[in-house]
């Protein structure tokens, strides 16, 4: 069994450079091509585990689209944003993170974040406004809520 890299807290990208240098061009390309629609392959030679991604506008869909486990269903991002309650948005973020961990998902492709301000901006059916201030502001509460339970995984 291969030992996988685990980190506590943040690690500089430079720390991974020696591992990437050990990969051939073909192996690097393979890591970027995807194994399935929502997974990336690992590489046993450098101890890189496969990665599972999931999206879904109202929750963490998981990797099985038909016949999989029951999953938590949340109000869409527009409804959460319409509450103007950062606490609710942060709680949804925490629950998304917990749901991802339960399903062994490494990366949640959400919560949806955009800078839409009016319907004229286009595609406003689901995105959550980033903040009620400026694009340089901190991430929205739903994203912040995803962080507390996030942890490195083998």
Cα–Cα distance measured from residue 154 to residue 138, given in angstroms and rounded to the nearest whole number? 29
Distance CA 127, CA 67 (A): 28
Q: What is the dihedral of CA 116, 119, 123, 125, to 10 degrees?
A: 100
Find, among 84, 86, 39, 79, the residue nearest to 63 by Cα: 39
Give the 3-state secondary structure of residue 16.
helix
pTM for the predicted model, two decimal places: 0.67
Mean confidence (pLDDT) of the chain:
75
User: How would you class 128 by CB atoms within 10 Å of its CB: exposed for 0-12, middle for 13-18, buried for 19 or more?
Assistant: buried
Give the tens place of pLDDT for each residue, 120-129.
555 544 454 4
Per-residue model confidence as pLDDT tens for the chain (154 residues): 334 444 555 567 788 889 999 999 999 999 988 888 899 999 999 999 999 998 876 788 888 888 888 888 888 777 887 888 888 888 888 898 899 999 999 988 877 665 555 555 555 444 544 444 445 555 566 666 666 554 444 3
Residues 6+ apart with CB under 8 A from 147: 93, 97
Tokens of 79: 């409804």
CB count within 10 Å of CB 61 equals 20
The encoded tokens of residue 143 equal 């994203």
Distances (CA, A) of 31 to 20, 27, 41: 11, 6, 6
Give the number of other CB atoms < 10 A from CB of residue 118. Answer: 7
What pLDDT was estimated at residue 138? 54
């Amino acid at each position: 069994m291969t030992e996988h890299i685990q980190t506590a807290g943040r690690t500089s990208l430079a720390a991974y450079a020696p591992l990437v240098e050990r990969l051939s061009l073909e192996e690097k390309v393979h890591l970027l091509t995807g194994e399935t629609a929502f997974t990336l392959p690992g590489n046993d030679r450098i101890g890189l585990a496969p990665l599972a991604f999931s999206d879904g506008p109202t929750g963490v869909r998981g990797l099985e689209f038909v016949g999989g486990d029951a999953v938590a269903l949340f109000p869409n991002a527009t409804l959460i944003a319409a509450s103007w309650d950062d606490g609710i948005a942060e709680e949804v973020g925490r629950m998304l993170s917990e749901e991802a961990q339960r399903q062994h998902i490494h990366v949640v492709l959400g919560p949806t974040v955009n800078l839409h301000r009016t319907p004229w901006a286009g595609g406003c059916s689901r995105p959550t406004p980033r903040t009620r201030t400026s694009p340089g502001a901190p991430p929205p509460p739903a994203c912040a809520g995803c962080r507390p339970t996030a942890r490195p995984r083998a």
